[in-house]
Structure 1
């Protein structure tokens, strides 16, 4: 049964973010922004004028009290210790922003918008230092951990791209529709539900990332050098996958869909075997697992191409279209926070192992 955090918003909650210290930020329709502690009581509220929706929030990795929020086509910088008027405001995008990402060094912010542009801002000068582009709406962008000048993006042009800030063009591009026809030639010409890419997330190792798409599938990619390869795919949602989120320091992936489900997947059996462990705890769990468990949990590329059924580790029947997911620790236990079309936030417990 979900706990519900209410009282922070009057309209639909559109985005969520969590700091490393456990503070949660939420953005909603008509310029509403709220901060939450672990008890589910609003720790601060702010109405940003004009009444543009707050569509993305991101905490600084280096300074957890610094909060970035997109407000229409603008970005505001706030002090989470005393939520009041923005400390700074800048605008480099021309259309509404869909996603914000800040690199680990807190030197660059990337803002993806409806025009397909990704504006990369130098946070010292607050000026755009690079403009990257998709041919349609750019829905998601993420910096890679341990690689402050490398980022990945996806959009409604069905493109997934790998970028380096030293270059204006992508290092590598994959079209999800082409992946679909290559893996299943019989599907060519029959794609009534094209894989528009909605969300992506990079694992803590920096070389594995997941992408959720409109066709209900989740695709896992492995980055090697200046390119990435289609490693694995599985379908767990009957409608579009609106959110994907790798949990910190693991290869556990949370997905949220337009079908109202939130699913937890363990993809460590395949993608983890060629990676340095993102956490000692993950290696301990794998070492302690009996041989049969490790074998049963192994996900390989051949199996995915044969449409083998990959089962989620946890299924949450949330019941409403998922707008955003985030994960945080509350009272020593991990929780997934879910934003939907309502004005409240749902909080669900997650397994510990």
Structure 2
């Protein structure tokens, strides 16, 4: 059962982030931004002028009181101790920003927008150092790779996933998710059944920096490995009955959280595939055995997320019937325990404990 953090925001929450000191920030529709204590108490509140949706929030890794927030086409840098005035403000994107990502050295901030562009903001010189334009539709998600401050991955509603190195203005590698989706549709036994297009919604990079995941509208999650200047797909499996809105690797692990438009939150362990060619980024720890989640049949067919054949013999470690479309997922420690924080179509944050992991 989830603990609900309430009393902060009235609009649907769109994004979440947590500081190293367990302070949580949430952004919502209508320009609302909120900070929360680790016990779920609302601490600070503000509303950006113009009432543009707050689509992404990021705490500084070096200064826990500094917060980056995207709202509309703008980026504001805030001090969470006083949210009234911004420390800095940038308007470098031409259309609404969907996602922000900081590199580990915190000198570069990437912002992906509705035009398909990714702007790379040099925070030291306060100017755009790169404008990456290759997505032909909305760029929905971007993520710097840990341990590689000049490298990032992106995905978009053009069904493309890209690997970038900022020393070049063009992507090093591109894959189109439509290709494997078309092959799957041709192999379907039921010719009248159509899959949703593989619009790519979310990317997440594991702490090792070489493994990343992508969630798409076709309900599938794909796991890629970076091999120098190109990538290989290690794994692809049906994770949700509807589109995968969020993917999120837990820190220092190959445990992957996925959230979907079907209202489910699922935890997967992709370590066997990830460790096939490289060592795990953390020491092996004993994990308790978990019960296999139960699923119901829909339209006469067993839910695809439970069949070994469909998802490459990977089974969920945990499945939660959240009940609401997932807008954002965050794995973070609160009071020393690992938790899943979930934002959905409500103004509440749901907190699920992961003590057994």
TM-score, with structure 2 as normaliser: 0.90
Please show how residues 135-150 of structure 1 align to structure 2 within 5 Å. Answer: 135-150=136-151
1:174 maps to 175
Find the aligned partners of 1:324 and 1:348 in 2 and give their Cα distance.
Answer: 14
Corresponding residue of 1:70: 70
Residue 119 (str. 1) matches residue 122 (str. 2): no
Q: For the residues of structure 2 that align with 1:35 and 1:53, how far apart are their CA atoms?
A: 16
In structure 2, distance between residues paired with 1:196 and 1:309: 24
**Does the 8 A contact of 1:242 with 1:258 survive in 2?**
yes
Q: CA deviation at 1:51?
A: 0.9
- Structure 1 position 208 matched with structure 2 position 211: yes
Map 1:268-283; keep pairs closer than 5 Å: 268-280=271-283, 283=284
| Alignment correspondent of 1:196 | 199
Equivalent residue, structure 2, for 1:223: 226
User: Shift of residue 309 of structure 1?
Assistant: 4.7
Deviations 1:44-99 (A, max 9, x none): 11111121111111111222221100010000000123332111111100111000
SS where residue 83 of structure 2 aligns?
A: coil
Describe the shift of the 1:82–1:271 C-alpha distance in structure 2 as closer, same or farther (beyond 3 A): same
Higher helix share: 1
Cα drift, residue 328 of structure 1: 1.4
CA shift, 1:184, in A, is 7.2
List aligned pairs for 1:215-254, cutoff 5 A.
215-254=218-257
For the 8 Å contact 1:251–1:272, the answer to whether it is kept is no
Distance in 1 between residues matched to 2:312 and 2:343, nearest whole Å: 31
1:62 and 1:104 in contact (8 A); partners too? no
Q: How does 1:100-111 map to 2 (within 5 A)?
A: 100-111=100-111
CA distance in 1, matches of 2:212, 2:253: 12
Query: Over residues 171-202 of structure 1, what are the superposed CA-to-partner deviations in whole Å (9 max), with x where a residue is unaligned?
Result: 00000111334577536x98641110000100
Distance 2:308 2:153 in 1: 23
Give 2:86's aligned residue. Answer: 86
Any idea what the Cα deviations from partners look like across 1:133-188, whole Å, max 9, x if unmatched?
2100000000000000000000000000000111110000000111334577536x
**Which has the higher mean CA deviation after the structures are superposed, 304-313 or 27-36?**
304-313
Look up the match of 2:345: 341
* Count of residues paired in the alignment: 337
CA distance in 2, matches of 1:127, 1:93: 12
CA RMSD of aligned residues (A): 2.1
Counterpart for residue 58 of structure 1? 58
Q: What CA distance in whole angstroms lies between the structure 1 residues aligned with 2:184 and 2:227?
A: 21
Secondary structure of 1:160's match?
strand
Query: Could you tell me the TM-score, scaled by structure 1's length?
Result: 0.91
- Distance in 1 between the 2:102 and 2:8 partners? 25
Match for residue 325 of structure 1? 329
Secondary structure at the residue paired with 2:280? coil
CA contact (8 A) 2:271 2:280 kept: no
